[in-house]
Structure 1
Amino acid sequence: MLKVLLVDDDRELTALLIEYLAQEGFDARAVHNGADGVAAALSGEHAIVVLDVMMPRLSGIEALRRIRQASRIPVLMLTARGDNIDRITGLDLGADDYVPKPCTPGELVARLRAILRRTQPQPTMAATASVEAGPLVLSPGSRSVTLHGQPLDLTGTEFSLLEILARDAGRLISKQDLSQRALGHPLTPFDRRIDVHISSIRQKLGQRDDGHSWILTVRGVGYQLVVD
C-alpha cells in the first residue's frame, strides 16, 4: 500500500480522508501543522504528500519551500477556491499539482493516482528506453534528465511534461494535449498550471547556444521543444 501524508490542520477533514483513502488502497496518516509536515515529508516513509496551503504558523507554501530544498517527493497542494496566487506560487516552488478546496475525496484520489502514475518509475522496457532530443537525454525508468551530460533537477510533473515535448521534439503540442498526457486531466478556462511548469523547466534548461529558449511558445496554442 502506498503511503500518503496529509498535512492539514482540519482534523475532521483528515480523519475523513484517511478512511476514504484506506478504502481506495492507500495507507494514509496525518499531521496537523507545517513543521511536522516538513519533517514527515523528509522522513522517506511516504510516496506522496497532500499539503494544505492555509495553516497556522508555518504555511503550506513555506512548508513546500522547505521540502523542495531537500526532496523531490510528489506534492499535491490543497488551495482555497479561486486563490490563483497560492496556486501559482505553489507550482513555482515545485508542487506537482493542486486541488481547490472544498474538494470531494474522489477527486483527490483521482489526482493522487494521476501524479503517482507519472512520477513512479516504470518497469517495462518501452518505458525505460532513453529519450534523446539533441543534447537532452531523459531516462524514464529512473526519471532522470541530463543536458550536455549535466543532470537537471526536475519535479515529477516537470519530467513528464519535458518527456512529452522531447518525444515529439520539433512538433507543436497544444496545452490541452500536454495537460491530458502529463497531468491526466483537461485544462479549465484560465488554468495556468501548464504555463507555470513550462516556465520552471525553461529556467532549469537555460538558453541554447544561440541565446534562445529550448522551448518555443506559440501564444494561445502550445509549446514546442527546439533541438536543431
Structure 2
Amino acid sequence: MHILIVEDEAAIADTLIYALQSEGFTTTWLALGQAALESVRQAEPDLLILDVGLPDISGFEVCKQLRRFSEVPVIFLTARDGEIDRVVGLEIGADDYVVKPFSPREVAARVKVILKRVAPRDVSNSAAVLRYFGFELDPKRVQVHYLGQPLSLTRHEFKLLNVLLDQPERVFSREQLLDGLGIAADAGYERNIDSHIKSLRAKLRQINASHDPIQTHRGLGYSLKCGR
C-alpha cells in the first residue's frame, strides 16, 4: 500500500520512510502542500501523513481542499499539542493526530490501524439498500439520497447515517456510534461525533429546512426519528 508523506523537515520524513518501508509500505515524500494536492489528484495514495506547519500552505488548508475531491485517510503531524488543534483537525476530516516528537514505529502502527478500519468489508449481510422516510442509502455503491436528492457526505457522515438508518428509533450512544465508525471508544473522540452530526444535519437542512430527522437525546446520544 502506498503512503504519501507531506513533511518539510527531511530528517522527520526519513524516519517515517524507514519505519513505513520496514512494515512493507511504499512511500512518496513531498515537502509542499500544493504539490501534495496535485499528487493526490493524479494518483490517490492509500493514506496521507500530513504536517500541519508546511512552508506554502498549512496542513489544515491542504486537508480542507483535499476533502472537496477525496476521502483518502489523513494523519496530521504537528508540533502543537492544544486540544483545539486536535478538534479542528478531526472536524475538517482527519483520521488521526500525532504530536511531535513522536515514535516513527507508533505512527506506522497507527497507519496500519486506520487502513484496517477503512478497508472494504464483507457487505454480504449489509448490502441491501436502506429506505426509510425519505432516505435511500446504498451501502455497496456508497450513495445516499434524501427526498430524492443526492447527498454528498464524508466517509464518516455516510457511516453514521448508515448506522442510524439500519436501526431507526434506536438511541445510539456516542461510544456506539464511534464503534460504527470503526474507532475505539477509548480513543477520546466521543465529542467529535457531535461535530459529524452537526455537519450531517446541515446537509439535510439544505434539502428540507423544516424537518430534522436526527433526534438528540441529552446525556444519551442520537437516534433517527420515525415520521415528521
User: TM-score scaled by structure 2?
Assistant: 0.83
Match of residue 202 from structure 1: 201
Describe the SS at the equivalent of 1:196. Answer: helix
- Alignment match, 1:141: 140
Which ranges of 4 or more aligned residues in structure 1 deviate by more than 6 Å?
A: none
RMSD: 2.7
> How far off is 1:130 after superposition?
2.2
Q: For 1:45, what is the secondary structure of its paired residue?
A: coil
Q: Which moved more, 1:157-166 or 1:97-106?
A: 97-106
Q: Is the 8 A contact 2:146 2:207 kept in 1?
A: no
* Structure 2 gap ranges (5+): none
Distance in 2 between residues matched to 1:18 and 1:37, nearest whole Å: 16
1:24-43 residue pairs with structure 2 within 5 A? 24-43=23-42
Q: What is the alpha-carbon distance in structure 2 between the residues aligned to residue 210 and residue 45 of structure 1? A: 35
Per the TM alignment, residue 213 of structure 1 is displaced from its structure 2 partner at its CA by 1.9
Deviation of 1:123 after TM superposition, in Å, equals 4.9
Task: Tell which structure's C-alpha radius of gyration is larger.
Answer: 2
Name the residue aligned to 2:50: 51
Give the match's secondary structure for 2:50. strand
Q: Identity of paired residues, percent?
A: 34
Amino acid at match of 1:6: I
Whole-Å Cα distance in 1 between the matches of residues 208 and 40 of structure 2?
Answer: 38
Distance, in Å, in 1 between the alignment partners of 2:103 and 2:184 is 16
Distance 1:44 1:127 in 2: 30
Q: 1:26 to 1:129 in 2, by over 3 A?
A: farther
**1:97 aligned to 2:95?**
yes
Deviation at 1:59, TM superposition (A): 0.4
Give the drift of 1:173.
0.6
Deviation, 1:135, is: 1.9
The alpha carbon displacement at 1:156 in A equals 1.4
- Letter aligned with residue 34 of structure 2: A
Give the whole-Å Cα distance in 1 for the aligned partners of 2:63 and 2:200.
Answer: 18
Question: The residue matched to 1:173 in structure 2 has which SS?
Answer: coil
Query: Which segments of 5 or more consecutive residues in structure 1 lack a partner in the other structure?
Result: none
**1:87-144 deviations in Å (ceiling 9; x for gaps):** 3333333x14222313444543454344444544445422433233322222222222
TM-score, normalised by the number of residues in structure 1: 0.83
Deviation at 1:182, TM superposition (A): 0.9
SS at match of 1:180: helix
Q: SS where residue 55 of structure 1 aligns? A: coil
Q: Aligned partners of 2:221, 2:189: CA distance in 1, in Å?
A: 14
Count of matched residue positions in the alignment of Structure 1 and Structure 2 = 226
User: Which moves more between the two structures, 12-21 or 150-159?
Assistant: 12-21
One-letter identity of the residue aligned with 2:203: K
Aligned counterparts, 1:8-19, within 5 A: 8-19=7-18
CA contact (8 A) 2:75 2:98 kept: no
Contact 2:174 2:191 in 1 (8 A): no
Task: Specify the alignment match of 1:128 in structure 2.
Answer: 127
Distance, in Å, in 1 between the alignment partners of 2:153 and 2:116 is 16
Amino acid at match of 1:213: D
1:5 is aligned to 4
How far is 1:190 from its partner? 7.8
> Hey, what does 1:65 align to over in structure 2?
64
Taking structure 1 as reference, are residues 121 and 62 closer, same or farther at Cα in structure 2, changes over 3 Å only? Answer: same
User: Does the 8 Å CA contact 1:77/1:90 hold for their aligned counterparts?
Assistant: yes
